[in-house]
C-alpha cells in the first residue's frame, strides 16, 4: 500500500478492523455467542428465538385483528397463533442453521458474514410471503394484519441475522471484533423506515370508513326524470351488438368505460357498484366465514386459517351476522320519496326502509323452483311475479321472469326509478366453462339468442322511460372492459376517460337530483345529462331497523351479502 491512495482508504481500513464503529450490534451477537458455549446452546438459542418471534407475531396479529374487528375475546387468537408460529419458526431456524453449517463446512466462503445477512433477509421475506397470501385483502391496500406482518419480518430479520452471524463466527473461530458492526440494526432501521412510510401511505390511501351516521332523509331538489338502471351481467359491448335493438341504444348513448377490479367476486363487485363504497366498508368480503373456538362471532377473513382449521381450532362457517353498512342507490332514492322498483338485484338486504319495492333474486329463484317464497318485503308484492315458469336454462329463465316481474311492477306500482339485474348470460357462460367445454359453441348460440331476446325486451321497457342507465358487464370470467351506457344522449360516443365502479352510484344519485355522501368518490366524467346542482350530505338516510328483525329468512341476508351463490 502506498501513500498515494485515496484519502478515505485509511478510514475504510480502520472500519474493516472494527474501529470507528458503534458497539451496539456486537452486544447482541456476543450475547448470542454465549449460548453457543454449551453443546445444546444452539438449540436453546433457536427455541428462544422461535418463542420470542412467535410471541411477537401472535400479539401483533391478535392486535391487528382486534383493531379491524373489535371484540373482547379476540385475544384468544393470539394464544392460538403462538404455538403454531413458534413451532414453524423453530423448524425454520433449525433447518437454516443446518444449511449454513453444511455450506460452510464444504467450502469456506469469502464473505460468510455477508452471506448470513443476505440469508437472514431472504428468509424473513420468504416467511413474510408465506403468511402474506392468507391475509391479502381484496381491497388491494394494506390491511392492518399486513402491517403487522411487515413488523414481523423486521423482527425475524433482527433475530435471525445475528444468530446466523454468530454461527459463522463460531464456525471460523473468528473473534467477535471481526464484526465491525452487526448490521441488522442498520438494515432494521431501513426496514422500519420503509414500514413507517408504507403505513403512512396506507393511512393516506385507504378507503376511509364513512363514519356511519344516520340523519334525516335526503331531500330532492326537484322530481327527477323517469330512470331505469339495467345491469346486463355477462354481456360485453361487442356481444350487445348481436341485438339490433341494443346496438341502436348504444349508438345513441354516451358510453363510459369503468374499471371493476373485483369482477370475479360478484358480491364485492356489485356491492361497490350499487352502494358507491368499497365492499370492505360494507362488510362484504368472501363467500364463507371462519368460526374460531371460543369466539362467538365468525371472522370473514383470518390469517393462517387453514392451519387453525387443521388443528381443529377453527372451522368454516357461514356468517349470519354481517350486515351491509351503506345504503344502495335505490335506498337513497326511496328515502327521498322517489317511487322505486327493484328486481333481482344484489345488496337487497337488509332493507333500508319501506319505500323501495324489492323482489329479490332469492324470491325469483324460489318461484323458478316451483315454490312460493314467504320472504317478500316490504309488503306483499308477490302478485308481481308471474305464475308461469319460463322455459330455458336456469340463468335465462331468471332473466325472463325478472323482466316480466318488472313489467308487472310497472303496472301495479308506477316508478320513477327502476333497477333491474339480469345475470342470465353470465350464469350460462360460467356454467358452460365450468362443466363441459364441448358445449361452448352451443352455449354461444344460446347466448346470442338470449342477447337478442334481452335487446327486444329492454327496448320495449326503454320506450316507456326517459333515461336508461345500462351497465354492460362482460361477466366473471371475461377480460373485456365494462361500460356504463347513458341513453339517450345528445353527445353519443365512447368517452376516453375511465372511471371506477364506485363512481356509478354517486353519478346516478346526482341524475336523480339527490345529494351524495361526502365520502363517496365523485364522478369524474363529463355529465351528458347536465345533472342538477351537486349537493353533499354527511349522513346516511335513516334505516328502518324493524325490518331487519327475525321475520326474514337469514338466507336472504346472506345472499344479499354475496353468500350462497
Partner 1 sequence: MSFQHFSERWLPGIHDRLQALALGESSVPQRLASAAIESVTAPGKRIRPLLTMATAETFGLNAERVLDLGCAMEFVHVSSLILDDLPCMDDAIMRRGKPACHRTHGEDIAILAAFGLLSRAFEIVSSAVHGLPVERYAVRDYIETLSRATGFSGMVGGQVQDLHPPEHIDFHSLEYIHSHKTGALFVASASCGAYAAQAKLKHLEGIRTFSKNLGLAFQIQDDLLDVLSTPAITGKETNTPHRKTFVDLFGVERCREAVDTLFETVEDTLRTFPGGAPLLQGLVEHVRRRSS
Give min distance, CB of 113 to partner 1, in A. Answer: 17
- In the numeric block, which cell numbers belong to residue 195? 414500514
Q: Which is nearer to partner 1, 26 or 400 (CB)?
A: 26
For residue 257, the cross-strand partners are: 483
Q: Which is nearer to partner 1, 176 or 307 (CB)?
A: 176
b/e burial code for range 224-248 (CB count within 10 A of at least 16 → b):
bebbbbbbbbbbbbebbebbebbee
The position carrying cell 366524467 is 525
Q: Which is nearer to partner 1, 77 or 182 (CB)?
A: 182
Give min distance, CB of 516 to partner 1, in A. Answer: 58
| Residues 162-201: x where in contact with partner 1 by CB under 8 A, - otherwise, as a string | ---------------x------------------------
**Is 37 one of the binding residues for partner 1 (CB under 8 A)?**
no
Residues 6+ apart with CB under 8 A from 3: none
Give min distance, CB of 1 to partner 1, in A. Answer: 5
- In the numeric block, which cell numbers belong to residue 102? 453444511
SS3 385: coil
| Residues 122-161: x where in contact with partner 1 by CB under 8 A, - otherwise, as a string | ----------------------------------------
Output DSSP code: residue 514.
-
Q: Which is nearer to partner 1, 5 or 442 (CB)?
A: 5
Other Cβ atoms closer than 10 A to 527: 13
Give min distance, CB of 174 to partner 1, in A. Answer: 13
Give min distance, CB of 8 to partner 1, in A. Answer: 9
State the pairing for strand pair 314-317/289-292: antiparallel
- In the numeric block, which cell numbers belong to residue 145? 394484519
Give min distance, CB of 32 to partner 1, in A. Answer: 13
Instruction: Count the site residues for partner 1 by CB under 8 A.
Output: 23
Give min distance, CB of 19 to partner 1, in A. Answer: 5
Residue count of the chain:
565
**Is the preceding omega at residue 392 within 30 degrees of 0, hence cis?**
no
On whether the CB atoms of residues 282 and 271 are closer than 8 A, the answer is: yes
Q: Which is nearer to partner 1, 180 or 253 (CB)?
A: 180
On whether the CB atoms of residues 89 and 152 are closer than 8 A, the answer is: no
Give min distance, CB of 213 to partner 1, in A. Answer: 52
Which range, of 2-10, 222-230, 344-352, 407-415, touches partner 1 by CB under 8 A?
2-10
Residue 262 to residue 51: CA distance in whole angstroms: 39
Residues 478 to 517 in contact with partner 1, rule: CB under 8 A: none
Q: Which is nearer to partner 1, 16 or 445 (CB)?
A: 16
Residues 4 to 33 in contact with partner 1, rule: CB under 8 A: 5, 7, 9-11, 13-14, 17-24, 26-27, 30-31
On whether the CB atoms of residues 33 and 176 are closer than 8 A, the answer is: yes
Q: Side-chain half-sphere of 123: how many Cα atoms within 13 Å?
A: 27
Q: Which is nearer to partner 1, 30 or 366 (CB)?
A: 30
Q: Which is nearer to partner 1, 16 or 264 (CB)?
A: 16
On whether the CB atoms of residues 457 and 422 are closer than 8 A, the answer is: no
Q: Which residues bind partner 1 (CB under 8 A)?
A: 1-3, 5, 7, 9-11, 13-14, 17-24, 26-27, 30-31, 177
Amino acid at each position: 500500500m502506498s501513500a498515494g491512495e485515496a484519502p478515505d482508504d485509511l478510514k475504510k481500513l480502520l472500519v474493516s478492523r472494527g474501529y470507528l464503529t458503534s458497539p451496539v450490534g456486537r452486544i447482541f451477537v456476543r450475547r448470542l455467542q454465549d449460548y453457543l458455549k454449551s453443546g445444546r446452546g444452539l438449540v436453546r438459542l433457536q427455541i428462544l428465538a422461535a418463542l420470542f418471534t412467535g410471541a411477537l407475531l401472535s400479539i401483533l396479529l391478535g392486535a391487528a385483528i382486534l383493531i379491524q374487528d373489535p371484540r373482547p375475546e379476540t385475544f384468544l387468537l393470539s394464544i392460538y397463533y403462538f404455538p403454531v408460529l413458534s413451532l414453524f419458526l423453530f423448524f425454520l431456524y433449525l433447518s437454516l442453521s443446518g444449511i449454513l453449517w453444511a455450506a460452510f463446512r464444504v467450502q469456506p466462503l469469502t464473505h460468510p458474514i455477508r452471506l448470513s445477512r443476505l440469508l437472514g433477509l431472504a428468509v424473513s421475506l420468504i416467511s413474510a410471503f408465506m403468511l402474506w397470501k392468507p391475509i391479502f385483502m381484496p381491497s388491494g391496500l394494506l390491511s392492518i394484519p399486513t402491517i403487522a406482518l411487515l413488523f414481523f419480518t423486521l423482527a425475524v430479520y433482527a433475530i435471525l441475522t445475528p444468530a446466523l452471524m454468530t454461527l459463522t463466527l463460531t464456525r471460523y473461530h473468528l473473534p467477535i471484533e471481526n464484526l465491525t458492526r452487526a448490521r441488522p440494526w442498520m438494515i432494521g432501521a431501513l426496514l422500519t423506515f420503509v414500514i413507517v412510510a408504507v403505513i403512512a401511505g396506507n393511512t393516506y390511501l385507504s378507503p376511509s370508513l364513512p363514519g356511519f351516521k344516520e340523519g334525516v332523509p335526503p331531500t330532492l331538489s326537484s322530481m327527477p326524470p323517469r330512470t331505469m338502471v339495467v345491469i346486463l351481467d355477462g354481456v360485453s359491448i361487442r356481444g350487445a351488438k348481436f341485438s339490433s335493438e341494443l346496438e341502436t341504444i348504444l349508438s345513441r348513448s354516451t358510453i363510459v368505460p369503468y374499471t371493476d377490479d373485483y369482477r370475479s367476486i360478484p358480491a364485492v363487485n356489485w356491492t361497490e357498484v350499487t352502494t358507491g363504497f368499497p365492499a370492505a366498508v360494507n362488510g362484504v368480503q368472501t363467500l364463507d366465514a371462519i368460526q374460531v373456538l371460543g369466539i362467538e362471532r365468525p371472522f370473514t377473513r383470518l390469517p393462517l386459517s387453514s392451519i387453525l382449521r387443521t388443528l381443529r381450532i377453527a372451522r368454516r362457517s357461514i356468517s349470519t351476522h354481517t350486515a351491509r353498512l351503506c345504503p344502495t342507490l335505490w335506498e337513497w332514492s326511496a328515502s327521498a320519496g322517489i317511487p322505486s322498483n327493484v328486481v333481482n338485484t344484489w345488496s337487497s338486504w337488509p332493507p333500508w326502509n319501506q319505500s323501495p319495492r324489492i323482489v329479490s333474486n332469492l324470491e325469483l329463484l324460489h318461484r323458478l323452483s316451483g315454490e312460493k317464497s314467504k320472504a317478500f318485503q316490504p309488503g306483499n308484492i308477490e302478485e308481481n311475479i308471474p305464475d308461469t315458469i319460463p322455459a330455458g336454462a336456469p340463468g335465462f329463465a331468471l332473466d325472463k321472469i325478472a323482466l316480466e316481474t318488472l313489467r308487472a311492477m310497472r303496472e301495479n306500482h308506477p316508478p320513477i326509478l327502476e333497477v333491474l339485474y339480469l345475470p342470465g348470460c353470465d350464469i350460462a357462460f360460467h356454467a358452460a366453462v365450468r362443466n363441459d367445454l364441448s358445449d361452448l359453441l352451443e352455449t354461444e348460440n344460446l347466448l346470442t339468442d338470449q342477447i337478442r331476446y334481452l335487446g327486444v325486451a329492454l327496448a320495449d321497457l326503454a320506450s316507456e322511460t326517459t333515461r336508461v342507465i345500462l351497465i354492460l358487464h362482460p361477466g366473471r370470467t371475461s377480460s373485456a372492459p365494462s361500460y356504463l351506457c347513458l341513453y339517450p344522449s345528445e353527445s353519443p360516443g365512447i368517452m376516453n376517460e375511465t372511471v371506477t365502479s364506485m363512481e356509478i352510484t354517486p353519478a346516478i344519485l346526482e341524475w336523480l337530483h339527490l345529494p351524495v355522501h361526502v365520502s363517496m368518490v365523485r364522478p369524474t366524467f363529463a355529465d351528458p345529462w347536465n345533472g342538477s346542482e351537486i349537493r353533499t350530505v354527511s349522513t346516511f338516510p335513516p334505516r328502518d331497523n324493524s325490518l331487519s328483525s327475525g321475520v326474514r329468512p337469514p338466507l336472504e341476508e346472506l345472499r344479499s351479502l354475496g353468500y350462497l351463490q
